[in-house]
Amino acid sequence: MSAATIIVIVITVVMNTAVVIGDIVQAKFVIANSREVGVPDAWLPALAVLKGAGAAGLVVGLAGLPLIGILAASGLTLFYLTALIAHVRARVFHSIAFPTLFFAFALGSLVLLLAA
């Protein structure tokens, strides 16, 4: 596994871990953004579990089970693609950079894992 792959995956894991914490503690910015794009507050715990599972799966992929890492990166890529769609549907463009960045790192992790 290349250094670039490891760096991108570690950044993806850290980013997702941070946002999972935000979901769990129901940070004001998380609640505000979710409401703005039409995501009910009650979904936040489930979304945190999905993001956390993705981050954990990437760690497992780094630890020697690449198929788990590929599946985790695929799940995160689809998750953030859905977040981008939610932002576009709700016409919330002022905060679209965040799901775009998360999508880019998830997709980058997927592409690099597939290339390894």
pLDDT of residue 57: 98
pLDDT of residue 36: 96
Residue 64: the pLDDT is 93
pLDDT along the chain (116 residues), means of 10: 95 97 93 94 95 98 96 98 97 96 98 95
For residue 116, the model assigns a pLDDT of 86
Which residues are CB-neighbours of 93 under 8 A, at least 6 positions away?
87
What gap in Å lies between CA 90 and CA 93, rounded to an integer?
9
Residue 84: both structure tokens together: 């981008």
What integer pLDDT is reported at residue 84 of this predicted model?
97
How would DSSP label each residue in 39-73?
--GGGHHHHHHHHHHHHHHHHHHHTT-HHHHHHHH
Inter-residue contact 66 to 113 (CB < 8 Å): yes
Rounded-to-integer distance, Cα 82 and Cα 77, Å: 9
Token pair for 61: 């992929």
- 96: nearest Cα among 104, 84, 81: 84
